Amino acid sequence: MPDFREEIKDKIMSGRYYRFNPNIDRFWAKNKVIVECSEERYLEKTVQEIAEAEGLDPLDALMDVLMADDWVKLEFYKHSNAMVGVDTFAVDDKRESWYKPPSYPNENSYGGFARYLRRAVVETDTLTLEEAVRKITGSPASKFKLRDRGVLKEGAYADITVFNPETVTDRGDQVEPRRYAGGVPYVIVNGELVVEDSKHTGRLPGKVLRRE
C-alpha cells in the first residue's frame, strides 16, 4: 500500500521511531545488514547497498526486504508461550462517528480472531487448528487466572464458538470495517446462545471477568 508506506515514512521523519531517521542517525542504513531472507539478492548486504542497487530510498528498500518474507511474523505464533489477542473494543455494526470525516474502529473489532485462524491455520499451515484455538482460549485464560474459562469440561462456563475452519474469515476492511466475521454460525456465552445462524439473538449474558 503506497499511501500507507508514505504515512509510515512521515512518522519516522517527524522524529518518531528514531532508529530509522537519517536526521538522527545518518548511518542507520549502512549499519543494518540482512542476514536472513528468502530473497537471496538481499543477503549479506546493508540496507544502504540494497537501496543503491534498487534505486530506492533506504526506508523503501527496508520495507521491500520485510515484504519478501511475509511468513516471518507468523513464526512467532509457534512459540509454546505465544498467545494471540486484539487491542480493540466492543462495538456493533451500527456504530457511527460523531465527527466528519467519520472515524471507525479497526476491523479487528469485528474479525480479528477470524483473520488469525484463517491466516495461521488455513492459508499458511503455521499452526494446527488445536494449537491455534488454544492460543486464544485456554492459554490466556490460564495466564490471567480466569478459573473455568477457555476450556471445554464439565463444570466450566459454557463459552463456546462454533465455526467452520474452512470458511472462517474476516470481512471488514479499512474503508468499511463494520462487517462481522464469516464462517461463525453459533456463539454461546455463559451457556446462552448469543449468535444463531450467524445472527445475534439479542441476548447479553456476558460479564466482567476477574482473576482468582
> What is the DSSP track for the chain?
-HHHHHHHHHHHHTTSSGGG-TTT-TTHHHH-B----SSGGGTT-BHHHHHHHHT--HHHHHHHHHHHTTTHHHHGGGSTT-----------TT---SSSS-----THHHHHHHHHHIIIIIIT--S-HHHHHHTTTHHHHHHTT-TT-S---TTS---EEE--TTT-B----SS----PPBS--EEEETTEEEEETTEE-S----------
Is 211 among the domain residues?
no
Domain-embedded: residue 147 = yes
Domain boundary among 41, 69, 97: 69
Instruction: Tell me the per-residue pLDDT of 14-66, one tens digit each, with 9 for 90 and over.
Output: 876 778 888 888 899 999 999 988 899 999 999 999 999 999 999 999 999 98
Q: What average pLDDT score do residues 157-185 get?
A: 94
- Domain of 24 in residue numbering reads as 2-69
pTM to 2 decimals? Answer: 0.70
- Determine, yes or no, domain membership for 206: no
What pLDDT, on a 0 to 100 scale, did the predictor assign at position 71? 66
| Number of domains into which the chain is organized | 2
pLDDT (tens digit, 9 = 90+) per residue, 100-129?
777 788 889 999 999 999 999 999 899 999
